[in-house]
Structure 1
Amino acid sequence: MKHSTAGARIPLHPNPCYLTASDGRTDAAFAPLIGPKWHKRQDEWGNYHAFGDHSRLHIGLIPEYCELAEPIGLWHIEARPHRHAPTVWRAAMSHHTPPEIIAALTTALAADVDSGSDRPPYLHNTGHPDTVWHPLTEAGWRYSTSDFGARALAPDLLAEVTHTPPRPGPALDQAREEAWQVEVRTSDGDEAPWWAEFHNATPAHLITSFTTALASPQPLRRMGNTLPPQARHLINGS
């Protein structure tokens, strides 16, 4: 990609979109969560929460300490069969994850809630895991498998999705296994601009919504000063 010397106030259209990172505006991720089955609130620590379907779903933006979430990632998504039950699956995304990509996932969750099903899709492992890879391979990502799992690598080698299924054994706490990993990195090997992870029991159609947005050819508009330092030198401004 060509290097950009655009100033902080010049609009950029990073492509691929996963190099965009967050611009600090998180409304896009919460926008699909509307209607009587959702309620939103800010807690005493300044974190923002959306609870859906009688609190069986929790989407949290957690920049500060919160007793509802472990201190990993900025974004937390959890699903449970009822509000007092243990978590069935969870997902987490880091600070610079583009909210437009998270919005693809929250849009899918909102559709599951609106389905009105007695067995909401977000609580069942609907779809074959292979469907997660289809948007990536169709976009030219290189897919491979090994004895440990599967991997898809972006054409520019700056993003990858991996799946490492939990192995059976008494020492493995499978309820907390984050088997799906998404990571965007830089060419010089610095810290990843952003990452996301999904529990192994996350329904495949939800992860597919995320990988579909990840592989989208549609660029996202950003101002230069909203890009993380690790990504700025990779951007071809337009």
Structure 2
Amino acid sequence: MPTPDDAHLYEEVLVSPMYLAGSNGTGDAGFAPVAHWPHHYLDEGPCQLVVTSPDQRIRIGWFGDDFELWKITAATDAVATPRWTATFNHVTPAEIVAGLTTALAHDYAEADAYDGNGCFLANPSYRWADAVRPLTDAGWTLDGGAQRDTVEIVAPDGQAGVLIDNRLSGWDDETVTLWAGPPGWSTRAEAVFTERTPSHLIAATAAVMADSAPVIRERHQIDRRMEHLVTLSPVAPAAETSETLGSRAPTPLDVRRTAVTQAVHRATRAPRTAADLRVMAAQSRTTDAVHGRPSTFAPASATPPISASAPRRSR
């Protein structure tokens, strides 16, 4: 029989900053933008699910038992070597992954409608600042302690950042790392991009990290070592709703609070029914949509600074 403490642990709360919220135990938010793409469930091997674009040039892999939970690639054709790779570890909020998958779904729809090539295969900008502009626009600043030929930009609270490696490297080397949280297996979120990842895709991912909107988690999903770094607010203040509001007309603040809560619920919940998928497919400009039911997945465990206007080293 559930105890009062159990009820408290499973209470839904709004968590901010979002980049410190950790995983909610599912990949739904990351898969939601591409829910209309083909799903391939794998019985063997560490990769449990691959969601692909209809032509299979974009692949989104879910490794439910690994430290690197997500592996996302893009190639010139279905059997070509990936042009670039992005990985997200098991601590990274799926809402951050959704920043990339949303941009990929948009790029694929544009390619299908126009040239068939796709911005998701574009060359990255020669200026590293283009990939992280959402962060610098949000007030993230250069860390003067970065190693020579690297750039590190840190959030105002010092609990998140991006490391850019401008040293001469190979095409498949990891050159951009978005991170959040203190070092540790269950506390440090990381998103890593290889050299040829288009800058606008990194920027789309970074933009979610810069967003101040909270996300929904259950209290037990917040690592105890992170509790002092985040702000938790009840999603539904039941006592006030049932008692206080029941005896008076709602104020404009009440209305706004309810609207925000409902919006966050919608943003952090993947579609659950076939009707939801039909709505998503209708909104997409991809004409070759495949309707499917989204699945819920649970991991097993979970030098002097370089000027922002300086070009990246050529490879």
Fold shared per TM-score above 0.5: yes
Aligned partners of 2:82, 2:89: CA distance in 1, in Å? 20
Q: Offset of 1:57 from its aligned partner?
A: 0.9
**Aligned-residue offset at 1:74:** 0.7
User: In structure 2, do the counterparts of structure 1 residues 7 and 132 end up closer, same or farther at CA, with 3 Å as the change threshold?
Assistant: farther
The aligned residue for residue 181 of structure 1 is 177
- Over residues 104-138 of structure 1, what are the superposed CA-to-partner deviations in whole Å (9 max), with x where a residue is unaligned? 11010001110123321001125553222221122
CA distance in 1, matches of 2:195, 2:184: 27
With the length of structure 2 as denominator, give the TM-score of the two structures.
0.64
Alignment of 1:78-97 (within 5 A): 78-97=73-92
Q: Deviations over 1:37-72 (max 9, x none)?
A: x311210137111011411111011124xxxxxx66
Q: How does 1:1-238 map to 2 (within 5 A)?
A: 7-35=8-36, 38-45=37-44, 47-64=48-65, 73-115=68-110, 116=112, 117-125=115-123, 127=125, 129-144=128-143, 147-167=148-168, 174-186=170-182, 190-191=184-185, 192-238=187-233
Q: 2:253 matched to which residue of 1?
A: none
How many Å separate the matches in 2 of 1:95 and 1:78?
A: 18
Identify, as 1 or 2, the structure richer in helix. Answer: 2
Q: Is the Cα contact below 8 Å between 2:75 and 2:82 reproduced in 1?
A: yes
Given residue 202 of structure 1, which amino acid in structure 2 is its aligned partner? Answer: T
Q: CA RMSD in A?
A: 2.1
Q: What residue is the counterpart of 1:171 in the other structure?
A: none
Secondary structure of 1:14's counterpart equals: strand
Amino acid at match of 1:228: D
What is the CA distance between 1:223 and its match in structure 2?
A: 1.0
Which amino acid counterpart does residue 59 of structure 2 have in structure 1? H
Amino acid at match of 1:198: F
The residue type equivalent to 1:176 in the other structure is D
Instruction: Tell whether the 8 Å contact from 2:149 to 2:167 is kept in structure 1 after alignment.
Output: no
Q: Contact between 2:150 and 2:167, CA under 8 Å: does it hold in 1?
A: no
- C-alpha contact (below 8 Å) 1:193/1:228 kept by paired residues: no
Shift of 1:227: 1.8
Against the structure 1 CA distance between its residues 57 and 144, is the aligned structure 2 distance closer, same or farther, given a 3 Å change threshold? Answer: same
Structure 1 regions of 5+ residues with no counterpart? 1-5, 65-70, 169-173
* Distance (Å, rounded) in 1 between the aligned partners of 2:35 and 2:190: 26
Structure 1 contact 166–177 (Cα < 8 Å) conserved: no
Instruction: Summarize deviations over 1:152-190 as a string: whole Å, max 9, x none.
Output: 10111111101103415xxxxx1320100112123xx54
Query: Matched residues, percent identical?
Result: 28
Amino acid at match of 1:16: P
* Aligned CA distance change for structure 1 residues 62 and 232 (closer, same or farther; 3 Å): same
Structure 1, residues 85-107: CA drift from partner, whole Å, max 9, x if none? 11110010001211111111101
Report the Cα offset of residue 80 of structure 1.
0.9
1:9 to partner: Cα distance: 2.3
Q: Secondary structure at the match of 1:24?
A: coil
Contact 1:149 1:163 in 2 (8 A): yes
| Residues 72 and 92, structure 1, Cα contact 8 Å, conserved in 2 | no
Equivalent-residue separation in structure 2 for 1:49 and 1:19 (angstroms): 26
SS of 2:192's equivalent in the other structure is strand
User: TM-score under structure 1 normalisation?
Assistant: 0.83
The size of the alignment, in residue pairs, is: 218
How far the C-alpha of 1:229 sits from its partner, in A, is: 3.6
Cα displacement (A) at 1:24: 1.0
